[in-house]
Amino acid sequence: MNAPPLTTPVSTPATSMASASGTPTAVVPANPSVAMRGLRAPAWWRGRSVVIGIPYLWLLLFFMAPFLIVLKISVSEVETVHFKDLVSYVDGVVQLRLKFSNYQFLVEDALYFATYVSSLKYAAVTTLLCLLIGYPFAYFMARARPGLQPLLLMAVMLPFWTSFLLRVYAWKGLLGENGWVAQALMALGIDHLLLATGLIASLGKFMNTPFSVVLGMVYTYLPFMILPLYANLSKMDLRLLEAATDLGATPAVAFWKVTVPLSKAGIIAGAMLVFIPCIGEFVIPELLGGPQTLMIGRVLWDEFFSNNDWPMASSVAVTMIVLILVPLAIFSRYQAQAQEERR
């Protein structure tokens, strides 16, 4: 009989090896990826968590933290140049002191109420005018030739290449007595119409009036209305308009029944981008508006730096933020409903 062949056991990398002295050595995994699993980042630091977490961390540091500081100042009492602590521990008793008299004064004083109403009015008028001017331009951009669209988009973004402050200062010269815009308005007789509507105080005087403030804000924030509308209209399916035409709809009816409803998201986004910053605008009313122009930004400046009343100014700021959060909540609710309808 032939003896069976001798086989030598082969140890795998995953088995324990012993040295000549009998001391066991470390176990080496057969698959290198198994060893790398322990070096990977934890699950909360990968993928979706990082993408969502970084913007929330940014908002927490640069929005929520300053807001909480302003909120604390608004309910604090001033002691010389320092603010008293809200929470104190005296004789074994924890005391919480919150001063709400500033908010009570905001409600009782007619000046602040008129300022808030005036800011909302200026912001609403500016938003409406930006929509009336920006929608036709965005519609023309979306329907223009593909080779012409980048040029039109560049024309909308071109003012951002110049400093915002310089552009506002330029309007002081354009609307002055010798400015060519003022001369053109007087040549066309528009100053008589503006005087009749109360937007200017006298003929030929366009500066330091509600007209100059609205004109400056419309000029400044018009691109913020055009860009969301263009982004929305450029993605619209044109076959829907063809179907409406086949069903007998006129171009005007097709525009009102098809185009406008489909561009509702762009309208709301543009309106929020214009309305929200207009409420707290300070530079334009300060440079183009007169002493009678009441807006929250100017009141905040006066309370902080003229009256040096930081708790009162902080109360005005907190109230303004609350007013801004209302349209933001409406916009977020609309977005959530739109996403549910798409599903």
Tokens encoding 310 = 């930081």
- Domain membership of residue 307 (yes or no) is yes
Q: Are residues 165 and 51 in the same domain?
A: no
Give the pLDDT score at 130: 96
**Count: domains in the chain:** 2
- Residue of higher predicted confidence among 137 and 14: 137
For the entire predicted model, the pTM comes to: 0.77
Q: Are residues 159 and 277 in the same domain?
A: yes
Report the pLDDT averaged over residues 307-319.
88
Residue 177 has pLDDT above 90, yes or no: no
Q: What is the pLDDT of residues 36-82, one digit of tens each?
A: 555 565 665 666 777 788 888 888 888 888 888 999 988 888 876 67
Instruction: Please give the residue range of the domain that contains residue 132.
Output: 101-342
Give the pLDDT score at 140: 93
Report the pLDDT averaged over residues 325-338.
76
Tokens encoding 88 = 């104190």
Residue 142 has pLDDT above 60, yes or no: yes
CA distance 45 to 57: 13
Q: Are residues 127 and 219 in the same domain?
A: yes
- Domain membership of residue 32 (yes or no) is no
Q: Are residues 197 and 224 in the same domain?
A: yes
Q: What is the pLDDT of residues 206-222, one digit of tens each?
A: 999 999 999 999 999 99
Q: Are residues 211 and 112 in the same domain?
A: yes
Give the pLDDT score at 302: 84
Boundary residue ending a domain (53, 72, 96) = 96
Q: Are residues 129 and 241 in the same domain?
A: yes
The enclosing domain of 210 has a CATH number of 1.10.3720.10
Give the pLDDT score at 343: 65
Mean pLDDT estimate for the chain: 83
- Domain membership of residue 28 (yes or no) is no
Q: Are residues 206 and 228 in the same domain?
A: yes
- Residue of higher predicted confidence among 281 and 87: 281
Q: What is the pLDDT of residues 289-300, one digit of tens each?
A: 877 788 888 888
- Domain membership of residue 217 (yes or no) is yes
Please report, as a single letter, which amino acid is at residue 339: Q
- Domain membership of residue 21 (yes or no) is no
CA distance 218 to 45: 44
Q: What is the pLDDT of residues 246-278, one digit of tens each?
A: 888 898 999 999 999 999 889 988 998 999 899
- Domain membership of residue 8 (yes or no) is no
Using a pLDDT cut of 70, give the percent of the chain over it: 85
Which residues fall within 8 angstroms of residue 97, CB to CB, at 6 or more apart?
77, 84, 85, 86, 87, 88
Using a pLDDT cut of 90, give the percent of the chain over it: 31
- Domain membership of residue 38 (yes or no) is no
Max intra-chain CA distance, the chain: 128
CA distance 106 to 307: 16
Give the pLDDT score at 327: 72
> Do residues 207 and 191 lie in contact, with contact meaning Cβ atoms separated by under 8 Å?
no
- Residue of higher predicted confidence among 25 and 305: 305
- Domain membership of residue 178 (yes or no) is yes
Q: Are residues 212 and 298 in the same domain?
A: yes
**30: helix, coil or strand?**
coil
Q: Are residues 164 and 288 in the same domain?
A: yes
Give the pLDDT score at 92: 80
Boundary residue ending a domain (96, 116, 132) = 96
Give the H or E element holding residue 117: helix 110-143
Q: Are residues 335 and 241 in the same domain?
A: yes
Q: Are residues 243 and 199 in the same domain?
A: yes
Give the pLDDT score at 321: 87
> Do residues 76 and 83 lie in contact, with contact meaning Cβ atoms separated by under 8 Å?
yes
Give the pLDDT score at 212: 93
Q: Are residues 80 and 219 in the same domain?
A: no
Residue 18 has pLDDT above 60, yes or no: no
